[in-house]
Chain A
Amino acid sequence: MPQVGDLRAKMSSLLEALNKWLCGPITVMEVCGTHTVSIFRSGIRTMLPKDVRLLSGPGCPVCVTDQAEVDAMVSLAKKPGVVLATYGDMVRVPGSCGSLAEARSCGAEVAVVGSAIQALALAESMQDKEVVFAGIGFETTAPATAVLLREARRKNVKNLSVLSLHKLVPPVLRLLASDPTLVIDGFLLPGHVSTIIGTAPYAFLAEEYGKACAVAGFEPLDIMAGIVEIARQICGGRPAVRCLYGRVVRHEGNVKAQELLGEVFRPASVRWRGIGVVEASGLVLADDYSDFDAYSRFGITLEEVNPPAGCRCGDVLAGRIAPLECPLFGGSCTPQFPVGPCMVSSEGSCSAYYKYSSKGVSPWGA
Chain B
Amino acid sequence: MAVPHKVVEIMDENRALVSTGGVELEVRTDLIEGLQVGDVVLVHAGFVIEKYNQDEGEELESLWEEVMQFASGR
A residues lining the B interface (CB < 8 Å): 13-14, 16-17, 20, 34, 87, 114-118, 137, 140-141, 143-144, 147, 192, 195-196, 218, 225, 228-229, 242-249, 254, 256-257, 260, 347
If over half of B's interface residues share one DSSP class (helix, strand or loop), that class is named, otherwise mixed; here it is mixed
A118 interface neighbour in B44, B46, B57, B67, Cβ under 8 Å: B46
- A–B pairs, 12, beta carbons within 8 Å: A13-B68, A20-B70, A87-B45, A115-B28, A116-B46, A117-B47, A140-B45, A147-B47, A196-B49, A246-B56, A248-B50, A260-B31
A246 interface neighbour in B2, B30, B33, B57, Cβ under 8 Å: B57
List A contacts of B71 (CB < 8 A). Answer: 13, 16-17
A-B contacts besides A17-B66, A244-B57, A244-B63, 13 pairs, CB < 8 Å: A13-B67, A16-B70, A118-B46, A144-B28, A192-B2, A243-B57, A246-B53, A246-B60, A247-B55, A247-B56, A256-B31, A257-B31, A260-B31
What separation, in Å, do the CA atoms of A29 and B48 have in the docked complex?
28
What separation, in Å, do the CA atoms of A20 and B71 have in the docked complex?
11
Tell me the chain B residues, 60-74 only, with Cβ under 8 Å from chain A.
Answer: 60, 63-64, 66-68, 70-71, 74
On whether the beta carbons of A242 and B50 are closer than 8 Å, the reply is no
On whether the beta carbons of B28 and A117 are closer than 8 Å, the reply is yes
> Closest approach, in angstroms, between the C-beta of B50 and any C-beta of chain A?
5
- What band does the interface of chain B fall in when counting residues whose beta carbon is under 8 Å from A? 20 to 34
List B contacts of A114 (CB < 8 A). Answer: 45-46
On whether the beta carbons of B55 and A117 are closer than 8 Å, the reply is no
**With contacts A34-B1, A143-B31 known, is A115 near B46, CB below 8 A?**
yes
List A contacts of B59 (CB < 8 A). Answer: 242-244, 246
Closest A residue to B74 using CB positions = A16
On whether the beta carbons of B57 and A144 are closer than 8 Å, the reply is no
Q: Is B17 an interface residue (CB 8 A)?
A: no
List A contacts of B57 (CB < 8 A). Answer: 243-247, 249
> Closest approach, in angstroms, between the C-beta of A87 and any C-beta of chain B?
7
B46 interface neighbour in A20, A117, A228, A243, Cβ under 8 Å: A117
What separation, in Å, do the CA atoms of A16 and B33 have in the docked complex?
42
On whether the beta carbons of B44 and A247 are closer than 8 Å, the reply is no
What separation, in Å, do the CA atoms of A242 and B68 have in the docked complex?
19
List B contacts of A347 (CB < 8 A). Answer: 1
What separation, in Å, do the CA atoms of A242 and B33 have in the docked complex?
26
> Closest approach, in angstroms, between the C-beta of A356 and any C-beta of chain B?
16
What separation, in Å, do the CA atoms of A156 and B53 have in the docked complex?
38
What separation, in Å, do the CA atoms of A196 and B2 have in the docked complex?
12
List B contacts of A14 (CB < 8 A). Answer: 67
Q: Is B58 an interface residue (CB 8 A)?
A: yes
What separation, in Å, do the CA atoms of A144 and B70 have in the docked complex?
44
List B contacts of A225 (CB < 8 A). Answer: 60, 63-64, 67
Closest B residue to A14 using CB positions = B67
> Closest approach, in angstroms, between the C-beta of B49 and any C-beta of chain A?
5
List A contacts of B42 (CB < 8 A). Answer: 192, 195, 248
What separation, in Å, do the CA atoms of A242 and B1 have in the docked complex?
22
What separation, in Å, do the CA atoms of A225 and B66 have in the docked complex?
11
What separation, in Å, do the CA atoms of A249 and B51 have in the docked complex?
9
List A contacts of B51 (CB < 8 A). Answer: 248
B52 interface neighbour in A118, A192, A229, A248, Cβ under 8 Å: A248
Tell me the chain B residues, 10-52 only, with Cβ under 8 Å from chain A.
Answer: 27-28, 30-33, 42, 44-47, 49-52
Closest 4 CB pairs of A and B: A246-B57, A115-B46, A13-B71, A244-B60
What separation, in Å, do the CA atoms of A245 and B59 have in the docked complex?
8
On whether the beta carbons of A254 and B70 are closer than 8 Å, the reply is no
